[in-house]
Structure 1
Amino acid sequence: MATEVRPTTRFQPPDWFTSNYTISTNAERQRDASHQTRQESRFLRNETDNQTKWDQHSNNVRLADRADHIRQWKEILEKTLADLDKEISDLSDAKQLTEQSLQAKDLPTDVAIECLTLREGRQAIDVVEDEPENQLHKEVEVIDGIKKQLHNKISEAFEQLCLLQEARQQIQADLQDKNIALGIDIDQYNLSETSPNISYKPDPLRVPKGSTTPQQWEDFSRYNKERADAEMKASTRLREAIHHTLQQTDNDLEAQRLATEYAFRKRIHEFERAKDELEWQKKNTEEEIEELENDIRGIEEAIRAKINPMKLAQTRLENRTYRPNVELCRDAPQYGLVDEVKQLEASKRALEEKLKQAKHALDGLEANLHRINDDLSLKNNSLMLDNRCMNVRERLQTKPMTSLERNLTLTGIERERSKVLA
């Protein structure tokens, strides 16, 4: 009986072993890949959880720091605002005091004009332009000048008050913005994953129009504070100037009777100072001329000292031009000698230019010394004349003798009284 074989594909034993090996290997590879994927997913899950946790922590710290920074600037601005309010009040008081002082100057003006009007009643030879009239006219001029100064100070105070108010408005607006921003950042700091009012937003990564950098934010507040400080300093200086002006104007009105003697003493003092200054300048100028002449001689000697080095360098260059054929090479000595010649020429030119400047300075010193000598002779003559004037004016300080004293001196009774007392 014949055996019948089914018509199927027949594989060889090596194919069978290969198939088994392939299946086993693929299974192990897939298990390894699955294991690797599981390990990577666990690692990634841990990493993302940690990253999320630390990102939230870092942003919480940033929000806290930002709130502290805003709070610091808020305290600074609040103190600045309080200082501005105080300075505005002080400047307003100073302005009011100046207005009162200006109003009080009407009485001295009326008195001076009345005195001038009364003195117009003089007749004939008595109608002279004497010292009282000059002093009265000067008093009117002084009062008018005082009024002008006070008007200027009032105008400056008004302008400074406007600047202070403007700086205060900026500080106040910045402070209001700081309060709003501080409240928003504190609210964001208090949010958490379990907060009820958190949700997805349509475009959270957008940059809002008008956003600024932290440096711009800080510069803005610093500018407002510095401007407020500058305006307060200006206001303080203005208040000091106002008080100084008020005191100075009172002193000016009080010191009219001593104006002439004071002017003479002041002028003599100025002449003495000018004379001493000229003598000191003359001495220093003469010493400087002597030093400059020595330096000129030194510069001339330095110029002469460059002649032989120049001759030496040029001679070396010239002699090296006679090297034959290929030996005529631009080697290091060639470049060095060329640089030496150029350097010597530059040195000589610099010395000659400096010599020219020194001679020009010497001419200027000698001309200035001549001017100093001429001016010194003028100052000596003027000082002598002013001293003679003051010696003549010393008679004004002598108390005139009364009629009784003149009679006692003529009769000799005063001499007898002196002997008795002795």
Structure 2
Amino acid sequence: MAEYPPRGCGPCPYKAGFQKGKDSGDYLEANTVPKPEVLYQSHTKLNDQKLGVPTADVAPDLKKPPTEGTGNEPQRDQRELKECKNCALGEPSSAPKAPEPQAEGAKQPLKGILKKETPQKPEMSASEGKGESSPPSESQQQPENSTEPCYFPQPQDKVPDQSVKEEMGPVGPWATGRVDWGPMAGFTGTRPVVDRYSITRYSEGEWRAHNQDMLNMSALEQHKANLIDFDGRKCLEEKKANVDKNQEDSTNRLRQRLQEMQRWKCELESSIAAAAEEISLLDEERARLKKAKAILQMPISIASECLDIRTTRLDSELVRDEVEVELMKELALTVEIEETFTRTLKDIEHQLLEDKTAKNRLECDWTDKKEANELEAINIALNNKSNILMFKAGSTRFPEEQSSRESWEKFTKETLVEAEATRQRSITLRGTLDAILINAARDLRAQADKVEMCLSKRIDCIDNLRVQLEDELKKILQKLANVEGLVNDLRALVRRMDVPMKKAQTRLDNRNHRPRVENCRDEAQFGLVAEVKSIGENVSAILGQLRTAEESQASLIKARSDLEREIMLKRKTLEIDRTRIQTIRSFYPSATALMGN
């Protein structure tokens, strides 16, 4: 607190001044004014300590005459004072001389509440009880250049005012009456002096004490403010450092978590790539098996046709020869291989479903980790200057559906292990399928060679018609492939129409949130509604074309089946007419075709 410079206003006219007593009576007994007992006077004020003692809780020592300094602690006066061995100690002593009266007449009567007291046994005054060992005199007055400013409490404020004994005159401060100042002045009916010049309520001692209280209060509040400022700044620095450390720790933990997710993400990517490759290989094997199974229908048809044709021969030709036996063996072999192919195809389709399921689980887990990875990357990139920071109500919680770290890692490991086991089963099944195809092709080809040895002469009968029917079948298959492509394109177009529809509906929904009169049905609103309607009509038209294409596809499939059946019927008829069994056998598939290659 900034100290105020001492101000001097000259010698104070109300400063206490006493004359040396002339009689030998006891000075304390003769001059002490009885002090009324007031409860609130017992409270110790700031910088209002008892003289001669270190604290206000210890009784003063009257044998040590100190003087009050400018600080809170009492200072010992360097002047030599005579010890008062008898004053206020109950010891007999020679009474000092009483002070000379200042006016003629008897002793002035007491004023105010003091007139009710009988000074039979004088009490020690406040100034005398705080260490004054001898009655003050003019030679012992405080010098004018005292260390205490004039607006602070002075030592004479604790000494009874001797001016109360002055005689009232026709003019002066006591012209309208005398008032004895005291702390109880406002409660005992004593009123301040009022004349036509001024009105007074407090004494100079009370005014200086009030000044001291105000300055002490200001110093105390400034001290409290300094403490609050220090504590606040210290708390600010500590909490700021704590927040920064927590943010850095959270960022490091997020980075570590991101690295761990990236590691598992790479593992999933490798497993997904392996699963996709295995699915592709198994799908190729399935297509190969289907092709082999489809090709297997030709040997069955050929053998059946040959047997049927041979049943239509003339009676003389109805003999059980070597060709008939070999044809029956071939038919039985092809039927057995077909059943094997059917069982294997079911196993492959089941295994392919398992592979796709495992791959979907891997992809789902990878997608979740990718999304979580992106979110963690966003969280790591956030800083205190990011413009997307905001309060998120309800985010500081642990959702019930959250997984633990152990369950999260266990789930990923189980997914990887299961996918690897599924892939190994698929590899084993592919090896088994390859062996089945090779053995089947070898057996069929060997049996066909035996049959063809007997039917070598039946080759040229059905070439022209077979070629024409197969050409038509190829065209149907080509058209079927084209129609399938058209169906896929139409379905993709229908799906792509969702984006414009979502866009138009989103615009309409956003415009519906316009406030009050701004929610206007303007040209843009009509345009958006028309756009939604147009998109819907387009989708309906596309769906109509899609249904037409699907119907055409079904018709082409039926036409393909009909053509294949017609080829077999034509072959049977031609063989019946021209005995073309060898011609049919000439189109027996090769070993490579029988393996589905």
For normalisation by structure 1, the TM-score amounts to: 0.47
Larger Rg: 2
Determine which structure has the larger helix proportion and give its number: 1
